[in-house]
Amino acid sequence: MRSSRLLLPGIAGLALAAVLAWPQAPVPASSSAPLVLAGGTVVDVTNRGNSAKDIPDAIVIVRDGRIADLGPRAEISIPKGAQVIDCTGKFLIPGLIDGYAGMNTQGQANADLYMGVTTVVAVSDARRGFVDFAASPRPHLYRMDSVGSTDNWNLLAHRPGWASKLQERGHPVELSTGDTLRQLAETARMGTRAVWLGPDLTAANVQWIIARAHQLGLATYGEFVATPYDVGIAAGVDALVHMGHYELGAIPDELQWPLVEDYSGPSAATAYDYAERLPPSDQRLRAYARFIANHHAALMPTFSIFYARLPGHRNLWEEPVAALLDPARVFDPTDRSTGEMNYPLPLWTRRLPASAQHWMELNQRRKANQSASRLWLINETLFSAYPHYLAASGAPVEGALPGISIHTELELLVRLGLSPREALAAATNNYSLQFGWRELGQIAPGRRADILVLDGDPTKDIWNARRISWLILSGNVIDRNRLLRAGK
């Protein structure tokens, strides 16, 4: 699976065997006694965060990894022999979902869990490496796969009969209709939950792939270039991925037409530059914002990839859990001492005086920060039309770190204009609504018991989503301190 703007070398040294380790790592079996969370406030994240029917002094009963019952203490009896956790004064939310991220080491898996990420839509590509499906413990991993194009990172790429079909040989090429149909069916049988529609796919293929994927129960992610965004949106794509990419939907037709043949060359560079420099008040941009809001697609901006280039950022390496992360397994990490992005200069600049090199580095940083700020203003215009949002970190690339960056994503969604409750919904129940994943996203009977017990009210301050007192994964209490003590 590839980035539509940067086709870059893979992360060396990652074991191919990890790709073939499909089964979920086992979660310790629940004891026969139910688990009860007593006295906390269950936070309502339904209706995309537009409902506030919280349940104070609640009783939540968990059996066999699922939520069996919940309600006010006056209405729910605690079963005899239950393991009871006193949650008085605390707040309960569903485990967080990172909807687009890699996870290539045990340390990254532990960092996700420690920060309350209980489900990851897992991506293997040249920048994120192979997903470590053998990590244990780890969040629930929902596999994402590319479809419709040659791709060395495809989940089928090393299976008999597919290696020659999927080998890129320099650049992606669309597969035949027959091969794409077989690819969709086989990747669905492997347990894939979402498919990625990449930049080289043309409009006719995108339309029928979306329809067929939905028939198979697969969520669809669009990162279009050759296909106009309005075509993919009208076809029912579920999510538009990455700030800096989906803004292409606002370019004029004369810039879109050349992209069918030149989705990664000079025509694409011109189109991206045009989209980035659109004035926020541009009527074409406002019309595009309304079009998104009036259709099924949700925005998945992965703002965290731009976090270090936006004002007010922190040094994420100072987070305690960052000690679990190996910078060598993060593509283009920030500087560990400053938290700033690095902008290496060409080798020839070594002949220049140190002052000239320093000036060039500062100039590159200034241009990158200006680019991020322009895209942010465009996204404020998109937000003003009130589309739906899904939270995802994009980690571990360009400064985004596993576990940590889902919280920077929540912070940035709030900065954009979502309420804290709406931001929480974007990382929880919106996935259930948008993708039909009814097993997660809520604290409700029948849902998987992935629960965070918080020391503060996250609907008042999104920072409180980090103040995790208890972490529960599939009904099992996870020792967060033990996660933190583990190696990389």
* Bridge partners (DSSP) listed for residue 96: 117
Assess contact for 488 and 465: CB atoms under 8 A: no
Tokens of 139: 């969040």
Alpha-carbon distance 483 to 447, whole Å? 25
Percentage of the chain lying above the pLDDT 90 cut: 86
Radius of gyration of the chain (CA): 22
Closest CA to 442 of 451, 106, 244, 73: 451
| pLDDT value of position 346 | 84
| pLDDT value of position 488 | 54
Alpha-carbon distance 67 to 55, whole Å? 15
Q: pLDDT (tens digit, 9 = 90+) per residue, 368-404? A: 999 999 999 999 999 999 999 999 999 999 999 999 9
Strands (E), 205-274: 219-222, 239-241
Q: Higher confidence at residue 24 or residue 446?
A: 446
Which whole number is the average pLDDT over 115-134?
96
Confidence of residue 485 (pLDDT cuts 50, 70, 90): confident
Residue 284 lies in a domain: yes
| pLDDT value of position 373 | 97
Which whole number is the average pLDDT over 103-124?
97
pLDDT of residue 229 exceeding 60 = yes
Residues contacting 176, CB < 8 A, separation 6+: none
Residue 53 lies in a domain: no
Output the domain CATH number for residue 100.
3.20.20.140
Residue 63 lies in a domain: no
Query: What residue numbers bound the domain in which 323 lies?
Result: 17-28+93-485
Triad 96, 413, 300: Cα angle to 5°: 70
Alpha-carbon distance 28 to 333, whole Å? 34
Residue 259 lies in a domain: yes
Residue with tokens 């244990």: 136
Question: How distant, in Å, are the alpha carbons of 19, 85, 479 from that of 485?
Answer: 27, 24, 10
Alpha-carbon distance 239 to 65, whole Å? 29
Residues contacting 456, CB < 8 A, separation 6+: 91, 463, 464, 467
Tokens of 290: 């309304």
Assess contact for 332 and 397: CB atoms under 8 A: yes
Which whole number is the average pLDDT over 49-71?
97
129: which DSSP letter? B
Say how many domains are in the chain: 1
Distance of CA 374 to the CA centre of its chain: 22
Q: Write down the pTM of the prediction.
A: 0.92
Residue 434 lies in a domain: yes
pLDDT of residue 16 exceeding 60 = no
**What secondary structure does DSSP assign to 150-209, as a single string?**
--TTSTTTTSTTTHHHH--TTS--BPPHHHHHHHHHHHHHTT--EEEE-TT--HHHHHHH
State the chain's mean pLDDT as an integer: 92
Tokens of 470: 């208890």
Triad 190, 192, 193: Cα angle to 5°: 150
Confidence of residue 29 (pLDDT cuts 50, 70, 90): very low
Residue 143 lies in a domain: yes
Range with lowest mean pLDDT among 17-31, 55-69, 108-122, 419-433: 17-31
Alpha-carbon distance 270 to 258, whole Å? 10
Which whole number is the average pLDDT over 16-29?
37
Residue 462 lies in a domain: yes
Assess contact for 334 and 308: CB atoms under 8 A: yes
Closest CA to 97 of 116, 82, 81, 84: 116
Residue with tokens 């902008």: 343
| pLDDT value of position 3 | 53
Residues contacting 334, CB < 8 A, separation 6+: 308, 315, 316, 317, 340, 341, 342, 399
Residue 37 lies in a domain: no
Q: pLDDT (tens digit, 9 = 90+) per residue, 132-179? A: 999 999 999 999 999 999 999 999 998 988 988 998 888 889 999 999
